[in-house]
Chain A
Amino acid sequence: MVRYIVKRLGTSLIVVIGISIVVFVLLHFMAGAPGRSVLGPTASADAVAAFNREHGFDQPLVVQYLSYVSEVLRGNLGQSFKLNQSVSDLLSDNAGRSAMLSLAALVLAVIIAIPLGTYQATKRNSASDTALTGVTFLLYASPQFFIALLAIEIFSIKLGIFPSQASQSNSPFVIFTDPVAMALPVLTLAASNIAVFARYQRSSTLDQLGQDYIKVARAKGVSERGIIRNHLVRNSSLPLITLIGVSVPSLLAGNLIVESVFNYPGLGLLFINSLQREDYPVLLAYTLIGGVLTVLGTLIADVVLAAADPRIKLS
């Protein structure tokens, strides 16, 4: 097990290094040297050149990359020239709120999707299963921003239950302190994941239902409910661990859309605003973090799955 984890850590590290190179080079070609955009169109060419020289932007790309990496390793993610603030501060100000939003949506999605998918599989091909499959399929095909708009139309404009704007509080724990204002963002973010998770849970439960241990349990006289509760769910939910691990990119993308629709001050909204400001240091840092989170998600899922499922051969 330890050897497996060490090996997975090693490959993940290589992938993270690769991500940093690709993203850095890409952003370099998109942004160019920031002197002109910082000093404005009226600044003289000399001033721009002096600015770029002072901040090391005239160095060869390899040198710039290495110095960026050595700064990042020391916890310095660069400087937002547009806001005159350190990128680390900007990101850490918003990270908690985004993390709590994603976590709440993820937990909600899992809590709903596991029973839903299991129910569908045990009642497979019934009218209710077909109807639920239709609903999840429809949800799956709907863009998140359209789900968000429908949610606003129904819950906020027609019914007036939830506000159409998320809480503007600075606290990352606003989900607990002001759940009414956070209901629609969490529900919207959860909705697409429910669709994906439930479909997956359904098919993995169907796979399990054909296994011998279910037949044995039935032959022993275990009730259908007992089979589902004690045997089925535990085994059929294992693959979901992997799915949650690889759903980090879609969660990040979801955050971007949901935070922008509901005006929730998190990393997603910061990213959108930075795009409009063409604030490339922020964009670079958050894209890198997104890549690292994606790798971490897969890594953790693999390790947890290997620990939870003794059938997996660690090779």
Chain B
Amino acid sequence: MSAKTEQEPSPETSKDERVAASWRLPLTLKGVARYRLGLTGGCLVAFFILFSFLGPMVYQSNQNNVDTLNALLEPSSEHLLGTDAQGFDVLGRLMQGGQISLQIGFFAALIATVTGTLYGAAAGLIGGKTDAVMMRFVDILMAIPFLFVALIVSTRFNPSVLSLSIVLGLFSWLVPARLVRSEVLSLRTRDYVSAARSMGAGKWRLVLTHLIPNALGVVIVNITFQVADTILAVATLGFLGFGLSYPETDWGGQLSSGVNYLLSGYWWLIYPVGLCLVGLVLAFNLVGEALRDVVDKRRTV
């Protein structure tokens, strides 16, 4: 009875579902709207990349030295978004924080995707007991509260772009591993794979040239969600006080130092950075949703 999988989203984790479940929307106006939303998301992502990496060339500000004489200034023509408690220009600080968020987001997603893809492909292809053990290991890691571990690790390693990327990446490969494994399991019985095998293709050749490229759709969809999740995780670490340390800065840390001035009404220390954070995460989620529709459509054909 396959009714279960057809009638209900399957009882996997919510993240798997975000990636794998199809929403069965009619391909009418809604489809166009989705496409538009995806495009909007893509434009937003591009905007944030330009803002963070090219912005500092256009809008130059002192981000190296504390300047207490010019601390907590209101927005003016000189400082478009005012200055923070250390006298740093807030707009320039936002650009720096954006660089960090994007770098860690992409780098962690890269680590997670490469690790997860290889692991999942190996498990799916080897099959049998090895597969069972490998996937049980994924179950185990999946059940460990990820934020807790990231926080604990950050007490020992001085957080930097590299260390945070590695920590966050090494705890996010589980979802791509599951996705790729199930893709490989469904692909390996296909005719073209048997054909390649009968022609004497080795296991790794099969994985690299046939299985991974065909599983790429779900992997790419997952990357966009992964980047969004990583940016949120970095911000959460920063907000809780376990993010990057001076002179580096991240959006979570900026927001948490702005909190002290909530009562004073210094809105420029809270809302710009909050909106950047929500905007960037939203942008990646929109792109992910749109890409998933594309991948699903290809599948149903």
Segment with Cβ contacts to A, from B64-72, B105-113, B183-191, B233-241? B233-241
Q: Residues of A contacting B7 with CB < 8 Å?
A: 207-208, 211, 311
Interface contact A206-B23, CB-CB below 8 Å: yes
Return the CB mask of A135-157 against B: 1 if under 8 Å, else 0. 00110111111100110110001
Kindly identify which residue among A18, A27, A152, A200 contacts B136, using a CB–CB cutoff of 8 Å: A18
Interface residues on A, range: 35 or more
The verdict on B192 contacting chain A, using a C-beta distance below 8 Å, is no
A287 to B144, CA, bound (A): 7
- State whether A260 and B240 are in contact (beta carbons under 8 Å apart), knowing that A30-B152, A204-B8 are contacts in the complex: yes
Interface contact B144-A141, CB-CB below 8 Å: no
Q: Residues of A contacting B223 with CB < 8 Å?
A: none
Question: What is the distance, in angstroms, from B106's C-beta to the closest C-beta of chain A?
Answer: 18
Kindly identify which residue among A23, A143, A276 contacts B144, using a CB–CB cutoff of 8 Å: A23
Which residues 67-98 of B sit at the A interface, judged by CB distance below 8 A? none
Kindly identify which residue among A14, A130, A143, A253 contacts B277, using a CB–CB cutoff of 8 Å: A143
A142 to B145, CA, bound (A): 20
A143 to B236, CA, bound (A): 7
Segment with Cβ contacts to A, from B49-57, B158-166, B202-210, B255-263? B255-263
The verdict on A182 contacting chain B, using a C-beta distance below 8 Å, is no
Q: Residues of B contacting A242 with CB < 8 Å?
A: 11
Q: Residues of A contacting B29 with CB < 8 Å?
A: 125
A276 to B240, CA, bound (A): 10
Interface contact B140-A18, CB-CB below 8 Å: yes
Interface contact B285-A19, CB-CB below 8 Å: no
Return the CB mask of A197-217 against B: 1 if under 8 Å, else 0. 000100110111011000000
A residues within 8 Å of B by Cβ?
Answer: 11, 14-15, 18-19, 22-23, 26-27, 30, 125, 130, 137-138, 140-146, 149-150, 152-153, 157, 196, 200, 203-204, 206-208, 210-211, 238-239, 242-243, 246-247, 249, 252-253, 256-257, 260, 271-272, 275-276, 278, 280, 283, 286-287, 290-291, 294-295, 298, 301-302, 305, 311-313
